[in-house]
Structure 1
């Protein structure tokens, strides 16, 4: 049964510069972040379906803060949606990102430019994310990933190819994953979400992934 392991899940370095910290957000922190995500998802500049240049659509829906991401660039308006200005990136979210990097990789790594981008992806039970790299920013600061709701399989690969070698990591609600340094441009994706695995008291059906980045713009 989830949450009933014989041994507690421990902080794990998946690859150089890539660290998984289980249960980093407590129940209160998860509920507060979920409340904020629900506000951000409202229009204008709300949750949208992302269309790829080839005419396909991503199965995970997305909302952005600070800078609006679309394949494969950033803008200040929702150029592939309702055209309105992107929602602002709140200072408290940047502080959360800085604390996450400090806890995962150390204070010296967290001492760079402030976080100014958030990409929030919503996954229902059928949603997936193909192997990709977060390479549209000009900064090489670590990417911070926070999970809410349903458990997923997070596939963390290498910097050269979308195929093996990779490591599959189970990310649960409240888990933190940070990747920077030599792993900053590693391919990664979500091949599977496990419906019905969200904490009962959270009030979320599906999975939210909040990723924080430094633009360098």
Structure 2
């Protein structure tokens, strides 16, 4: 074992693995390893997403996620910290909506990240939280089941999705889900987007069928982020 590996191990950091995640496949869950270099690159990509959405040092965000979503949201957390955005946490369940509503009501929240469908109705039913969401017009990164009820309420959420081992997010142009083109390649077959790992990652999956219908948009996006997007249906 090298000196660097020994030091990392003594500090509680695995010398080669940043984590292990699971994503669903038709034949069951698939485990995937995550290395430290790719975790750093994913954090840099997440920082670009924050920049595209105008999140800046000193602003406040509410991050709604569970521990098991660390492979996707972990880089976002690191990017928030490194960029100086102050963030609070909530669990993505209806039983934790009171905490989310309090944070949105009392703090100048600029972004709500990871909002799930089951929290939308009770969050909007809270008068103070609903007023804050309308008046402050925070950036909302919403899971798919939250998009329609948020739009019905007159809000304009961005779609956030965990696409197999990859993380996707739409931009202000609403041209589909962006993925880091240095790490992932997306194609479409039989109306189903497929994902292939192209970056130097511990997990080397190919032609992973994603659980959605959609097409691939190859045209450059006006937001400036590179690569094609997945337009979901």
TM over 0.5: no
**Which structure has the highest helix share of the two?**
2
TM-score by length of 1: 0.31
- Higher relative contact order, structure no. (Cα contacts within 8 Å, ≥ 6 residues apart): 1
TM-score with structure 2 setting the length: 0.29
